[in-house]
């Protein structure tokens, strides 16, 4: 006779087997190591930074010049504390990969985090100027745009650029992990994936933007306009022809000033340069350089009469 074990009594065994795999499979459990930056805290930091950069849009109705300084001062104060903590975690994680119990080491990392955080906050006023040029580019570049407020309020392309420029500053300060967490948060919200390492000039505008990918070693000039689905990517995977790792090498293209890239254009390769004032058409695929002032487009597609006798929506597609 077989004894049937009630389902709930088998759960401890389920737990045990799962816990066993934590030891078996390296690198997929985050235990007893240094605490990594906390995702939710990083998200709240981004939201507060956006309130500092563009006050009065999303969060509070009643801001006036008279109460603004208290509002911003308070935000800057709490941002300093939270960002310092997260940066310290990222620095320790990046340097050691695990927790340090040495109080002197811990103190040094915290001092470094404080200095980097202050440096970052001091750059926000310049960043505001830079972002106002991006907002202007969006307003000028989209005929369906009614006002600058509309850009700041609801353009996903602008939101992705705000987060990218914040993340890029942190990336330049060599803070690990947090910049990528920030741009992946923006990717999640907007469908636009800009690596924090990319270098992007002034007056940058991404219209619609879903599916845009801008790789780590891209260099983009001024007044560049990018439509949804555009890829500025790499040509090859992890190694070059001699088997050397490509981590760190220039793998992504250069796009010069005043280039427009239309929907789903893919420009690939670290040696590829799109010359200034060029226009890259929809669905084009480019792996070598393009001279300035060039228009690039697909050949015209093939046309055929449709012969199938489809009766309604349930048409068949028999090419």
> Whose Cβ is closer to its own copies: residue 17's or residue 102's?
17
Contact between 197 and its own copies per CB under 8 A: yes
Contact between 184 and its own copies per CB under 8 A: yes
Contact 87, 94 (CB under 8 A): no
What's the token pair of residue 8?
A: 């709930």
* In the complex, least distance from residue 48 CB atom to its own copies, rounded to whole angstroms: 12
| DSSP state letter for 211 | T
β-bridge mates for residue 266, sequence order: 231, 285
Site for its own copies in 259-298 (CB under 8 A): 260, 262-264, 266, 268, 277-279, 281-287, 290, 293-298
Sheet of strand 266-268, all strands in order from the earlier edge strand to the far edge: 193-194, 213-214, 231-233, 266-268, 285-286
* In the complex, least distance from residue 293 CB atom to its own copies, rounded to whole angstroms: 5
CA atoms within 13 A on the CB side of 313: 0
Member of 167, 173, 191, 254 binding its own copies (CB under 8 A): 191
Member of 46, 162, 195, 221 binding its own copies (CB under 8 A): 195
Site for its own copies in 69-128 (CB under 8 A): 69, 72-73, 76-77, 80, 93, 97, 114-115, 117-118, 121-122, 124-125, 128
Q: Report how far residue 84's alpha carbon sits from residue 250's, in angstroms, rounded to the nearest whole number.
A: 31
Member of 44, 100, 132, 289 binding its own copies (CB under 8 A): 132
Contact 178, 90 (CB under 8 A): yes
Site for its own copies in 213-242 (CB under 8 A): 213, 215-216, 223, 225, 227-229, 231, 233-241
Burial of 74 (0-12, 13-18, 19+ CB in 10 A): exposed
Site for its own copies in 133-162 (CB under 8 A): 135, 137, 140-144, 146-150, 152-156
Q: How many residues bind its own copies (CB under 8 A)?
A: 156
* In the complex, least distance from residue 129 CB atom to its own copies, rounded to whole angstroms: 6
Quick check: helix, strand or coil at residue 126? helix
Q: What are phi and psi of 214, to 5 degrees?
A: -125, 115
Contact string 25-44 vs its own copies (x = CB under 8 A): x-xxxxxx--xx-xx-----
Member of 20, 47, 96, 271 binding its own copies (CB under 8 A): 20
Contact between 51 and its own copies per CB under 8 A: no
Quick check: helix, strand or coil at residue 20? helix
Residues 6+ apart with CB under 8 A from 8: none
* In the complex, least distance from residue 103 CB atom to its own copies, rounded to whole angstroms: 19
In what helix (H) or strand (E) does residue 221 lie, and over which residues does it extend?
Answer: none
């Amino acid at each position: 006779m077989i004894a049937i074990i009630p389902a709930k009594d088998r759960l401890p065994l389920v737990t045990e087997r799962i816990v066993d795999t934590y030891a078996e499979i390296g690198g997929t459990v985050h235990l007893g190591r240094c605490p990594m930056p906390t995702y939710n805290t990083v998200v709240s930091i981004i939201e507060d930074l956006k309130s500092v950069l563009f006050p009065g849009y999303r969060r509070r109705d009643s801001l006036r010049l008279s109460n603004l300084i208290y509002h911003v001062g308070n935000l800057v104060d709490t941002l300093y504390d939270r960002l310092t903590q997260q940066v310290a975690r990222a620095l320790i994680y990046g340097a050691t990969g695990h927790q340090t119990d040495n109080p002197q080491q811990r103190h040094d990392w915290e001092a470094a985090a404080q200095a980097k955080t202050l440096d970052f906050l001091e750059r926000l006023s310049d960043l505001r100027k830079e972002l106002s040029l991006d907002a202007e580019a969006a307003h000028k570049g989209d005929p369906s745009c009614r006002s600058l407020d509309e850009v700041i309020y609801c353009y996903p392309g602008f939101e992705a650029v705000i987060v990218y420029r914040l993340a890029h500053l942190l990336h330049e300060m060599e803070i690990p992990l947090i910049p990528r967490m920030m741009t992946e948060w923006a990717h999640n919200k907007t469908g636009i994936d800009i690596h924090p390492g990319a270098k992007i000039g002034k007056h940058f505008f991404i219209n619609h933007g879903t599916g845009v990918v801008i790789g780590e070693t891209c260099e983009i000039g001024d007044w560049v306009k990018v439509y949804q689905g555009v890829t500025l990517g790499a040509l090859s995977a992890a190694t070059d022809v001699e088997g050397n790792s490509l981590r760190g090498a220039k793998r992504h293209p250069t796009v010069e000033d005043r280039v427009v890239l239309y929907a789903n254009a893919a420009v690939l390769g670290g040696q590829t340069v799109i010359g200034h004032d060029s226009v890259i058409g929809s669905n084009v695929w480019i792996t070598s350089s393009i001279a300035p002032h060039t228009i690039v487009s697909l050949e015209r597609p093939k046309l055929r009469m449709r012969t199938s006798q489809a009766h309604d929506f349930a048409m068949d597609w028999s090419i």
